[in-house]
């Protein structure tokens, strides 16, 4: 039986994909090379790693307002994460996800950067407010 975590109702369609997890924050403008599809800010814990088609699991949204435009532009080019799973986002990421039609959830009962691991297969259901880990069993 998959592990299921509950969160606040989110934005965008239900999706399934592979998690990329870090205890770090996020801004599309500050942290990403949006052409190459990698984290580019040297100090970021995911520096050098591709975010394309991954379910990004991070702590908080930070920084400027540009992500609101950028997520849709990235979506149209196909250089975009599959979903965003955060402990807490600011309005910019929520607005950007709504504008782009990108899946976003936040406000869990647990710290998502500890509850999920890189490589987990996740099913994110924003309407239900749930995220399932499909390839791990709950501890006995």
Interface segment toward another protein; rule CB under 8 A; list 28-36, 50-58, 110-118, 127-135? 28-36
Cα–Cα distance measured from residue 109 to residue 125, given in angstroms and rounded to the nearest whole number: 16
Cα–Cα distance measured from residue 93 to residue 68, given in angstroms and rounded to the nearest whole number: 6
Q: How far is the CB of 111 from another protein (least distance, A)?
A: 13
Q: How far is the CB of 87 from another protein (least distance, A)?
A: 9
Q: Kindly state whether residue 30 participates in binding another protein, applying the rule CB under 8 A.
A: yes
Q: Kindly state whether residue 65 participates in binding another protein, applying the rule CB under 8 A.
A: yes
Query: Closer to another protein at the Cβ: 39 or 133?
Result: 39
Looking at residue 128, what DSSP letter applies?
T
Q: Tokens 């009962």 map to which residue? A: 109
80-93 per-residue burial string, b: 16 or more CB within 10 A, e: under 16: bbbbbbbbebbebb
Number of residues that bind another protein (CB under 8 A): 42
80-99 positions binding another protein, by CB under 8 A = 88-92, 94-96, 98-99
């Amino acid at each position: 039986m998959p592990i299921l975590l509950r969160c606040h109702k989110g934005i965008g369609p239900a999706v399934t994909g592979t998690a990329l997890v870090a205890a770090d924050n996020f801004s599309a403008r500050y942290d990403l090379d949006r052409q190459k599809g990698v984290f580019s800010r040297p100090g970021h814990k995911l520096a050098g790693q591709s975010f394309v088609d991954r379910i990004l699991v991070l702590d908080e949204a930070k920084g400027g307002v540009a992500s609101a435009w950028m997520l849709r532009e990235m979506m149209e080019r196909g250089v975009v994460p599959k979903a965003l799973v955060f402990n807490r986002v600011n309005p910019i990421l929520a607005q950007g996800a709504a504008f782009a039609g990108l899946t976003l959830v936040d406000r869990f009962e647990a710290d998502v950067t500890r509850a999920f691991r890189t490589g987990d297969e996740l099913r994110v259901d924003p309407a239900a407010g749930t995220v399932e880990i499909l390839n791990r069993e709950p501890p006995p």
